Structures are given as structure tokens and as C-alpha cells.
Structure 1
């Protein structure tokens, strides 16, 4: 990938950046609402399978927690085109980050290559929020180690979930269904991702977001030398245990701080950088990444039982919990707006736990017993 260096692309405003509310940025297709409702129902069906298999209910995706850590997001002085939304002024925000494995099975083996996720909750955020999060000053941000999202829009998600529910227990039959599709390579890519240290991955938004006046995709780039070195090692299915990724993460954070660069990639050409379809990466040679902030996570215990339990049972990470100037865009994000509340509502009902919208990082436990 271009612009993976420690400094990213310094960047100036090219004058070609497309405004977030320009014609054509979002085009809502017919029947999308029906697709979203169908996906929400299927997510709940997958969660019922969790209950059947594990006698517990988790989120519909990213069910396997690999670690949860606390750190800070540091914004320094930026040129005007980068000084947008969350990054509009000098600031140091407390953050909590959860590393996860994407599928909805909390027992999935770490030795199986799969997409890995990272969810970030940013605290002490000021500005006009969407109604869902207007009462708590946080910004939720999601990342994935795959640059493109195979669930590229609501219609595709509905089709793929139908296939996974029917054939997901038999990879041969599943692949037979996927190979009949036009996007076979995109759908299979999730099983071919590099299986390595979680703290060493470059993480992507996959979908597009409003960025103040503009539109971007965002990325979190490991900048610590130890993190970058760790990327050279991969999981060995024959010698490593089934929880190797959590073990590696614990070992790393017991000895090292983590450092990341938060970078953005601007929308300049809707033909080459689709917003509605999240299955196409934006060419970073033509549309380079630019650094807007730094993330520092000090060494700590990354697998505290109290944090894991509190997060899994009480917290919902949702990109629609945040600033209007950081609005999620495109079909996959409109899907999230409908599906995430449905998934969280079912989960909290089935485990008899209340959703807690934390307003301070101190509410996320540092040890002891969960009291929420």
C-alpha cells in the first residue's frame, strides 16, 4: 500500500475534494429498507444459533473478543482541509479499543484466517450528535483489517447472509454458492487474509464517512517498530493454540506501548471511488492517505475479564453514535443504522442486561468485578 510510512502523506488541499452533500455521493436504491429489515432478522437468527450452541448471546458480528485496551487519540495542529470534525482542533481524547474476530461465532479458532476488527470509543467529544448518541459525548469508530468490505451494500449483504445461514457449516457447499456469483473473489478474500499479530495490522474503515466538509475513508496504521516487526510472524495451525491471537496481544501489551497513525483518504472521483458500494478499495497511489492524529496505547493487561464482560454484555459500538460531521455514508452504513440496534436489542434481551452508554472512560473497568 502507498503511504504506509511513519509520516503518511503530508498533503495539501488539491481543490478536487468532493463535498459530502454533493449530488451523487449517496444514491439510495429501491427496496433498500426491505433488505435492511431482512438482514436484521437474519442477524437475530444467527444470534439465536449462538444461544443454541453456547447458551449465551453475543453481538451478531465480531463476537470473539481478543483484547480491550485504553489509550489516547492525539490531534495536533493541521492544515484547514484536515482540520475537520473530530480533528478540527488540538485535542487529546481518552479512548478504549476492542480487538475482535469478525464472524458471529465467539468460539471460532484463532488459527483460522478471518477478518479481524478493531472498535474504538472516543470520549470527551464535543459537537452536534446524531439523535442515537446525543446524550453522551462519545464517537464510535470501527476498523477492519480488510481494505474492502465484502458486504458491500444492503442488497449484497442480504444475499450473502442467506447463503451463509444455509451453507455456512459446509465450506465446500458455501464456496460452490459463492463461485456462482460475479463477486466471487471479493467474497473469498476474507478467508485469505494474513493471519498474524493483531496489533500489527493496518486497519481500515472500508466504507466512506463524512469528514466535515468532505468525504473520506479512514485507516489506522501501526507506526511502532515492534508492531511492524510482529507483522512478519504468522499463525502456525500445527503448533499454535486456538487462542494464539489473544495470547500474542497479551504478550505484546505486557511489554510494549502501541502507536498508530490515524489517516484519511479523500473522495475526489465518484467513478473511481464509489461511496454506495464498499467492495472497491480506493486507489491510494492516486488518492493518498494523510495523517490527522496519533494513537498511543500504553502497556497494560489486554484481557481483563471485567473489561471483556462489561463490553460484551453492556456496550454497543455504533458509528451512528457520534458527530453529525462524521456521518457514516453509503448503503453499508445505512444498513448498520438499522441492524446494529436490532442486534444489540436482541442480545440485551436474551442475556437480561441493560445497554450502558458510557460517558466516561472510567466506566470501563480496570479490574475487579462487573457491577453494571
Structure 2
């Protein structure tokens, strides 16, 4: 294995803030309003603007390794110890679609009892990680993402039959692309993602974050035998609208689930751009390194009380956490206000306060 470059130290000039980002965020909020207002009117209940459909809510524990080297012992990982966590499994659409429409999987992780200087507006003592089962984002900038989102907003909660048919076709396209080594985030996002079991997937932050004195991306990878056996396994939907939720619930009643939380440090500014999340950071340049494990014991992944507490009463945001893990890059900067905007609408419409655990 070649000798790795030392990690790049964090400095504010790693980011390149462009003129017009404020206008883009305003446009994103307006487009998200189209999505969340449409779904709220149809459902009589407000849901998230993205990752609206949840497939499972879990409780577990995160164990930070006590013997990390200096470059990994940063921020909340500076000291070993155990932290309670919540996990939310989802797919990425802003409307609640039948599972026959196959979309990328998402996993949001909320770590509790995290002490330290907070990001502006981040209440409580928590640290959120928001990840998907892909290594890159579908758009280079928030402006490009907004252009795609406007097209999707026009189909929100409409054309369900067309979406099912298109999803079937796109899965075939995706399979053909994969046989020649091509991965397409765009095809996945439009409904061509493989119908994989979310418990067997590896998840990625896709965008970079400050990592104490350094900069990193995050990943959550399954390592227990029960989860590794599900890697790549597909789910037969069989006409069931909530097949994924049903399968996850059945599996979590009997499996012990363990993931490794891994960190990929920024070591080469040219090969690992901060401002372009469409570029995958090569593991040849900087491999993922384990800093903690997440363990979830067998449980009911659709417990009514827990679903109400987490799915309805909490939000997951990359801007909820420590200043030592500040989100970086154009996409992350745009997420700050749009996440809050969506959560504020849900809170008002549903008359259900959204809060961080321990910050009621």
C-alpha cells in the first residue's frame, strides 16, 4: 500500500462561497414548499420534503474507540465512550410512494449526549449524520440540484402508475450500466435504484465535514454476520406498498445489527474536492478508517411509540451537532436553511413540536 499523505488541516479557505447562494436557497425553499404543501394537503399530515417515507426506527448504542490516533481522535471522537443513538431508515422521495418505485436508501443517525461547542442554532446535545447508500451526490452545486428538484416537484404525489412503470424500466437500465462498470446517481434518483434491503447497505455522507483539526467524509458499513448476509439482497415487493418496512420489521425482531462508523480524511485537495460532491474520494488516496461501532439489539423497528417520538417529533439535519463537525461545501451550506424550513412547516401543520432529545 502506498504511503498516505498527511491529512489536510481545516481552514476556512477550503470552502469557496459563490455569489448568489442566498438566492438559490430561497428558490430551494420555494420548491420544497410546493412539495411539502402538496403532500400535506393530500395526506392531511405534513411529511419531510425529502426522505419522507420511513422504513424503520431503531434504538442502539454508538461506541467510540478509546485508542484512536491523534488524526482520528477529533471532535466528538476525541474520547472513547458509549452514546445512545436513534437510526431512521428511509427512501429519498418527498412523497410517500409504494415500494414498487425503487429509490436510493437513506440512513439518518442521531447520537445523544454529545458535549462541546454547538453549531449556530443547534439545540440540545446531539450529533446528526445523514447518509445515503451511494458515494456521490447527484448534482455538483445547490443550483444544479434546484433545477432537478423543480422537475420532480411537478410530479409530487402524481402519476403513481407512471412512476412504477418507469422505475421498472430504469432498474433494467441501471443493471445494464452496472455490467459495464457505470454507476448513475441520476438513474437511481429517478427510480432505477436496485431494490436492496436497507439493512445490508453501506451508507455515505457524500459531502465533507470539518473533523476537528481536519476534514472528512463519513460512512456507516455493516459488519455483523446478520447484516453482512443481507448485503446486496433484494426485496420482493409483490404488490405490497410497505414491503420494505415489513421486511425490516421481520428481520430486526431477530438480528443483532452492528455497523462501523468510518472516517475518510481529506489528504489531497485536488483529488478530494470540498465543493464538488459528484466526485468520489478515492480510497487509494485516503481509505475509510473505523472510529466507532453502532450496535442495535433485536427490537420492533416499527414500534408505534418510537415512531411517534422519532419520525414525528424529531428532525435529522447535518447542521445539528458540534462546531467541530461543521458541514462544508455548497450543497451543505444550502441544506442549513432548507432543513429548518421543512421542519418548521411540519411542526406548525401537524401541531407537533419538533425538538432535540434533552432540549424540550
TM-score by length of 2: 0.88
Paired residue for 1:97, among 70, 75, 87?
87
Matching of residue 80 in structure 1 with residue 79 in structure 2: no
Is 1:16 matched up with 2:6? yes
> 1:82-122 deviations in whole A, cap 9, x for unaligned?
1111111111111111111111112x122322011111111
Partner of 1:139: 127
What secondary structure is seen at the aligned counterpart in 1 of 2:187?
helix
Partner-residue secondary structure (3-state), 2:146: helix
Q: Secondary structure at the match of 1:45?
A: helix
Tell me the residue number matched to 2:150: 162
How far apart are 1:323 and its partner, in Å?
0.5
* Equivalent pair of 1:144/1:203 in contact (CA under 8 Å): yes
Residues in 2 aligned to 1:225 and 1:22: alpha-carbon distance in whole angstroms: 42
Whether 1:211 and 2:211 are equivalent positions in the alignment is yes
Contact 1:68 1:308 in 2 (8 A): yes
Contact 2:51–2:91 under 8 Å retained in 1: yes
Partner of 1:299: 298
In the superposition, relative to structure 1, how do residues 141 and 351 fare at CA in structure 2: closer, same or farther (>3 Å)? same
CA RMSD of aligned residues (A): 2.4
SS at match of 2:147: helix
Query: 2:274 touches 2:329 (CA, 8 Å); kept in 1?
Result: yes
Q: CA deviation at 1:232?
A: 4.0
SS in 2 for 1:46: helix
User: How far 1:167 sits from its partner (Å)?
Assistant: 5.5
Q: 1:230 aligns to what SS in structure 2?
A: coil
Q: Give 1:198's aligned residue.
A: 198
Match of 1:43 among 32, 45, 70: 32
Normalising by structure 1, report the TM-score.
0.85
Deviation at 1:15, TM superposition (A): 4.8
Shift of 1:22: 5.8
Is the CA contact 1:250–1:301 (under 8 Å) kept in the aligned structure 2? yes
Partners of 1:87 and 1:353 in 2: CA distance: 33
Residue 369 of structure 1 corresponds to which residue in structure 2? none
1:54-133 matched pairs, under 5 angstroms: 54-76=43-65, 77-106=67-96, 108-133=97-122
Aligned residue-pair number = 339
Deviates more, 1:216-225 or 1:345-354: 345-354
Unaligned runs of 5+ in 1: 1-8, 176-183, 364-372
1:1-60 deviations in whole A, cap 9, x for unaligned? Answer: xxxxxxxx9x99x4531122163x210111111001110111111001102321211111
Q: Deviations over 1:201-230 (max 9, x none)?
A: 000001001111111111000001121111
User: Hey, what does 2:224 align to over in structure 1?
Assistant: 224
Distance of 1:304 and 1:114 partners within structure 2:
24
What are structure 2's unaligned runs of at least 5 residues?
A: 170-182
CA contact (8 A) 1:65 1:308 kept: no
- Whether the 8 Å CA contact 2:103–2:188 is kept in 1: the answer is no
The aligned runs of 1:340-359 (5 Å cut-off) are 340-359=339-358
CA distance in 2, matches of 1:308, 1:111: 23
Write the distance in 2 (CA, Å) between the matches of 1:160 and 1:150.
9
What SS is found at the alignment partner of 2:121? helix
SS in 1 for 2:29: helix
Partner of 2:270: 271
